[in-house]
Amino acid sequence: MQENYFSDKTRTILAVLIFVFGLFVIFVAPFLIQGSLDAVIARVAPKIPEQPDFELTVVFLPIWFFTMRAINFVAGVTLVVIAYAFWKGENWTWSVALSAVSLPTIFGVLTSLPHVVQYGRPPAAGLVLLFGLVVFWLILLLRKGSKVEKWARFFIFTFLGVTAGHINVLVMHSIKNIVGRPDAPYFKDVMYTVYAYEGPFNFFALIFCIIALPLLASEGKRVAGWYMALIAGIVVTLANYPTHFVRMQTSDFFVAGSLGLGLTIVTLIPAFQKAILGTE
Q: What is the pLDDT of residues 109-158, one digit of tens each?
A: 999 999 999 999 999 999 999 999 999 999 999 999 999 999 999 999 99
Cβ-proximal residues to 257 (8 Å cutoff; 6+ apart), any chain: 236, 237, 239, 240, 241, 243, 244
Amino acid 4: pLDDT: 75
Residues 121 and 150 both lie in one domain: no
Q: Which of 144, 175, 193 is the last residue of a domain?
A: 144
Angle, helices 270-277/252-268, rounded to nearest 10 degrees: 70
Q: In sequence order, which ranges of 88-189 are alpha helices (DSSP H)?
A: 92-119, 126-141, 147-179
Report cis status (omega within 30 of 0) of the bond before 185: yes
Position 1 pLDDT exceeds 50: no
pLDDT at 2: 56
Does 45 share its domain with 164? Answer: no
- Taking only the tens place, the pLDDT of each residue in 28-53 is 999 999 999 999 999 999 999 999 88
* CB 84, CB 139: distance < 8 Å: no
pLDDT at position 280: 41
Enclosing domain of residue 24:
1-144
Distances (CA, A) of 82 to 71, 129, 160, 193, 278: 17, 21, 23, 45, 27
Q: CATH number of the domain that 271 lies in?
A: 1.20.140
Amino acid at 272: F
On whether both 114 and 151 belong to a single domain, the answer is no
Which stretches of 28-125 are DSSP H helices? 29-44, 54-87, 92-119
From CA 86, how far away is CA 122, in angstroms rounded?
A: 33
**Which helix (H) or strand (E) covers residue 48, if one does?**
none
Q: What is the average pLDDT across 172-181?
A: 95
* Domain edge (last residue) among 75, 110, 144: 144
Let me know whether 127 and 150 are in one domain. no
Cβ neighbours for 14, distance < 8 A, ≥ 6 positions apart: 6, 86, 97, 138, 139, 142
- pLDDT over threshold 90, residue 220: no
Q: Are 222 and 215 within 8 A, CB to CB?
A: yes
What pLDDT is recorded for position 278? 82
Q: Are residues 109 and 163 in the same domain?
A: no
Same domain, 74 and 195: no
Digit-coded pLDDT (tens) for 70-83: 999 999 999 999 99
Q: What are the φ/ψ torsions at residue 52 (nearest 5 degrees)?
A: -60, -20
SS3 52: coil
Which candidate, 113, 115, 109, places its Cα nearest to that of 129?
109
Same domain, yes or no, for 80 and 40? yes
Q: Is residue 183 located within the same domain as residue 124?
A: no
- For residues 87 and 159, membership in a common domain is answered with no
Q: Do 77 and 110 reside in the same domain of the chain? A: yes
Q: What average pLDDT does the segment 164-171 reach? A: 98
Question: Which one of 81, 110, 144 terminates a domain?
Answer: 144
- Name 82's Cβ contacts closer than 8 Å, sequence gap at least 6: 18, 93, 96, 97, 100
Half-sphere exposure of 54 (CA within 13 A, CB side): 14
Q: Report which of 98, 153, 140 is spatially closest to residue 271, judged by C-alpha positions.
A: 153
22, 129: one domain:
yes
> How many Å apart are CA 238 and CA 245, to the nearest integer?
12
Task: Output the pLDDT for position 3.
Answer: 65
Are residues 29 and 103 part of one domain?
yes
- 125 and 36 Cβ atoms separated by less than 8 Å: yes
Number of domains the chain is built from: 2
Tell the burial category of 127 from Cβ atoms under 10 Å away from its Cβ (0-12, 13-18, 19+): middle
Which residues, 6 or more positions from 182, have their beta carbon under 8 angstroms from its beta carbon?
189, 192
